[in-house]
């Protein structure tokens, strides 16, 4: 299975949750999509970073200019950006300025710590 197909399978397996959820807005939902379950998973993170590197290389070739930086919104992009140049499958970590209490929709993931 190629990387893109494996990533799709992981997203289907881990990110689409079914049950009763109370969203941050207070509304209720029977489904919840949580992509952090893949971006914080060692295999998922490795697949995302590899595909992202392929896209960056392709863009640099087509554009003729090197890409020397990558970034994105904090929390969501932190693990991905941090893994782009890491060849290992080490688990990612998150740090928050303040701890956030867990909830059924947002339980702690990976190794979470406040600093």
Query: How do residues 68-115 score in pLDDT, each as one tens digit?
Result: 666 666 666 666 766 665 554 444 444 555 666 656 555 555 444 433
Structure token pair of residue 76 = 């969501």
More confident of the two residues 9 and 45: 9
Q: What string of DSSP letters covers 20-87?
A: EEE-TTS-EEEEEE-THHHHTSHHHHHHHHHHHHHHHHHHHHHHSS-------STTTSHHHHHHTT--
Domain residue ranges of the chain, discontinuous segments joined by +: 3-104
Q: What pLDDT is recorded for position 74?
A: 60
pLDDT band at 30 (very low <50, low <70, confident <90, very high): very high
Q: At what angle do helices 42-63 and 3-14 cross, to 10 degrees?
A: 140
pLDDT in tens, 50-63: 898 888 888 889 98
């Amino acid at each position: 299975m190629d990387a893109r197909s494996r990533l799709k399978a992981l997203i289907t397996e881990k990110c689409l949750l079914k049950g009763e959820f109370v969203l941050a807005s207070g509304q209720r939902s029977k489904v919840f999509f949580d992509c952090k379950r893949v971006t914080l998973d060692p295999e998922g993170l490795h697949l995302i970073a590899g595909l992202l590197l392929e896209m960056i290389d392709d863009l640099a070739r087509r554009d003729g200019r090197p890409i020397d930086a990558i970034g994105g919104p904090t929390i969501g992009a932190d693990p991905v950006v941090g893994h782009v140049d890491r060849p290992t499958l080490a688990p990612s970590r998150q740090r928050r300025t303040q701890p956030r209490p867990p909830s059924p929709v947002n339980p702690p993931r990976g190794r979470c710590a406040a600093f």
